[in-house]
Structure 1
Amino acid sequence: MILLDKPYVSDFLQHTILENGYPALALSSKEELNLGGRLPLMNSEEAKDIIKRNEFPKVYTNSENSIDWIEKNLQKTKLPDIIDLFKDKVRFRRFLNKYYPDYFFEEIKLEDLLTVDASGYPFPVVLKPKVGFLSVGVHKIYSVEEWNKKVRKVENEIEKVSRLYPASVLNAGAFIVEKYIEGDEYAFDAYFGSNGEPVVLNIFKHFFSSEDDVSDRVYLSSGEIINKKLRPFTEFLDMLGNSADLKNVPLHVEVRITKDGKLFPIEVNPMRFGGWCTTADSTYLSYGFNSIEYFFNQQKPDWKTILSGRDDKLYSIIVLDNTTGYEPDEIKSFDYDQLLQHFEHPIELRKMNVADYHMFGFLFCETDRSNFREIEYILKSDLNEFIKV
């Protein structure tokens, strides 16, 4: 079963449903989701009856907005508890405590952020919503003196974007402050099969423009990245799956790797791959196989064959978030044609209304390894060169 909800359903996902005849349930109107008329959509009761036949049903969703429906309608399955384990960052940290006993974290209510005694925190720390999405409300903080400045900034951010997501996706009533882990950050899609075996479907390195950057601007995949990280990420999933009894669960995972090679999980997002139909679509655009089909068919990527001939290629997801310094209602237009001129091989551009989503869209690119400067350029750009105000 595939659950469809706002904010975005890609043409690729719709084609996947149509081509395979996957049963699907739309949790918002077809008009809001821009769905084609030929999709095999079910009604809610039919979907519930099918899903509840199994303790570990195969369910995939494009959006965390569907969590509300799952929690209300699928209590007889394992899905609501699996979702809560991972989406509640405090519960997740407590769950992992036996594997990371020295890792510092603390839960703080929103109303206590300005009055909490931060003097004992092991700075630098990261402050983030207890239940969050993308990098909304996430800040790296270096000192007690900086604490209050960043807290006020967090409050402003949350006020602007909280209307876009339900509380099950972004709940800023409570926050978690945790130790900042120095190291490289990665994101990857995976699933646990019906026998509990984990399968990694792609790997992206998350690039940042500076030490203070916590944005989602660039995620980059390559044969080198996949070959180096496939084994440790699979071993991490083995540990996770054995501890939480995970079966038939798709996941989008974010981790950091320290200089001495230790893996620290940042977050695990169940029931989906990368948000906004990004990483699964990028895997097909880059490597030619469909992650959603692989999940439902219980297939494993043959990475040796898939990566053959791609040694010099880099594949990126570029998030065109609004870093211009202007409010959406001050921005008259965005020059997408000028943007595309900066890239040697843009694969697909997805335009978004910045007033609705606080971003201009997503760009999927293929880049020759020798031309990494185009990635560095967009990573450091505030996008002001593309807008009119």
Structure 2
Amino acid sequence: MIILDRPYVSKFLKCSASRQNLPVLDTAQARALAGDADLRFTPAASFFPEAKSTRIYANSENSLELIMRELKGSPLASMIEICKDKLLFRETISDMYPEYGFAEVDAEDLDAFDPSVLPLPFIVKPARGFFSLGVHRVESDDDWPEISEAIRNETDRLNDQYPSEVVSAGTYIAEEAIGGREYAVDVYWDENGRPVVLNILHHPFGSEDDVSDRLYYTSDEVMRSMLKPVTEFAAELGKVCGFRDFPAHVEIRVLKSGRIIPIEANPLRFAGWCVADITRHAWGFDPYEYYFTNRQPDWNDLLEKRAGTTTAMTIGDIPADVDRKKLDGFDHDAFESLFDTVLELREIDWEKYPVFAFVFSRTDNANLPRLMKLLEEDFRHYLR
């Protein structure tokens, strides 16, 4: 069963839902996004009772408020709440990471918060958040007045742009900055709580204070080095949180010691904005179908077939000082020239979101340095 909602539903996801004949919750948003896709629309009166006893997927966290209301008190609602409330998530896994410091920060009492209660640097972000929205890095106690002012200025904008179940800028969590490499994991836990990893994406940054989502990539090298430790970590996480028949997009950091610390777990979906489709581009299988049919990838075979290949997703983000209302488009050819092989380019409504495109691309592992240069690229050069 699947719920389709804004901000974006890919053609691939719609085709997958149609091919599998999945019940799709009948909403005005789903019908508008469906276009001419042949989907099995199902009214809420029958959709949600059935959803209590079968697997469900929601491509957008905009749907979580509805799900939580309709399935209140269910095991699924409890699993969602553990993920969405970042404070509850930290409390739930605190026995796994007793050394990790975090604190609640009320947006109305920013001036009263004492930044010295946490070791530096630390991150502050909405307790319910998405897409790196409202994320700030505090390097010094002296940074706090400026950052608290920035939080005040963005609170109304974030709450207006996204439902409270997706981003709530009323309460923030301040937590230790985690060093090491960052990865994003698409995983589901089966009926026995066993994790099935569907993809692992490396998320590099341009600098220590970079919190953007510009670049993610996967490769045979990434999977060979991370599959075993990530699967073991996911098994422990699922046990502590009680995950069953549950998909998630989990962001993690890997320390030099190899210890994995989760940043957050995004419930009931894989990578947002249908970026989960990168699994099809990289490995040739449908992650949505694997979840609904309880299948797991044959990684030994896949890694042999895709040896030496890197598949990436790049967000064409718009600099904050650009007036998006004045944009007419972007130079497709020049933008695509940044990549070795463009597999798919998705244009995004830049009047609504500070993004003009998502690009899926492929290159040889040896050309990874060229891909990393995208972290320093000023994309305003490609805007009209």
Aligned position for 1:366: 362
Q: CA deviation at 1:26?
A: 4.0
**Contact 1:191–1:251 (8 Å) recurs in 2:** yes
Matches within 5 A, 1:330-345: 330-345=326-341
Map Cα deviations across residues 324-383 of structure 1 (whole Å, 9 max, x no partner).
531322434322221001211010000011111121121101011222243123211121
Say whether residues 1:287 and 2:310 are aligned partners: no
Q: CA deviation at 1:285?
A: 1.3
Partner letter of residue 159 of structure 2? S
Alignment CA distance shift 1:154-1:337 (3 Å):
farther
Alignment CA distance shift 1:88-1:292 (3 Å):
same
Aligned position for 2:51: 51
Say whether residues 1:384 and 2:376 are aligned partners: no
Say whether residues 1:8 and 2:8 are aligned partners: yes
CA distance in 1, matches of 2:307, 2:70: 46
Alignment CA distance shift 1:207-1:29 (3 Å):
same
Q: CA deviation at 1:225?
A: 0.7
Q: Is the partner of 1:172 in helix, strand or coil?
A: strand
Residue number among 78, 82, 86 corresponding to 1:85 in the alignment: 82
Aligned position for 1:101: 98
Matches within 5 A, 1:33-48: 33-48=33-48
CA distance in 1, matches of 2:337, 2:126: 37
Aligned position for 2:350: 354
CA distance in 2, matches of 1:384, 1:93: 38
More displaced 10-residue stretch of structure 1: 161-170 or 111-120: 111-120
**Contact 2:248–2:269 (8 Å) recurs in 1:** yes
Alignment CA distance shift 1:246-1:119 (3 Å):
closer
Partner letter of residue 292 of structure 2? F
Say whether residues 1:207 and 2:204 are aligned partners: yes
CA distance in 1, matches of 2:241, 2:66: 22
Map Cα deviations across residues 16-57 of structure 1 (whole Å, 9 max, x no partner).
0111111111444345424325211111112022113x2xx3
CA distance in 2, matches of 1:322, 1:6: 20
Say whether residues 1:311 and 2:307 are aligned partners: yes
Matches within 5 A, 1:1-389: 1-30=1-30, 32-52=32-52, 54=53, 57-75=54-72, 77-279=74-276, 281-323=277-319, 325-388=321-384
CA distance in 1, matches of 2:150, 2:363: 35
CA distance in 1, matches of 2:305, 2:330: 36
Alignment CA distance shift 1:179-1:278 (3 Å):
same
More displaced 10-residue stretch of structure 1: 241-250 or 255-264: 241-250
**Contact 1:138–1:154 (8 Å) recurs in 2:** no
TM-score by length of 2: 0.96
**Contact 1:6–1:32 (8 Å) recurs in 2:** no
CA distance in 1, matches of 2:320, 2:104: 32
Map Cα deviations across residues 143-186 of structure 1 (whole Å, 9 max, x no partner).
01111222222333443343231000000100000011111000
**Contact 2:107–2:172 (8 Å) recurs in 1:** yes
**Contact 1:87–1:131 (8 Å) recurs in 2:** yes
Root mean square deviation, CA, Å: 1.5
**Contact 1:14–1:35 (8 Å) recurs in 2:** no
CA distance in 1, matches of 2:331, 2:370: 17
**Identical amino acids, percent of aligned pairs:** 37
CA distance in 2, matches of 1:106, 1:173: 14
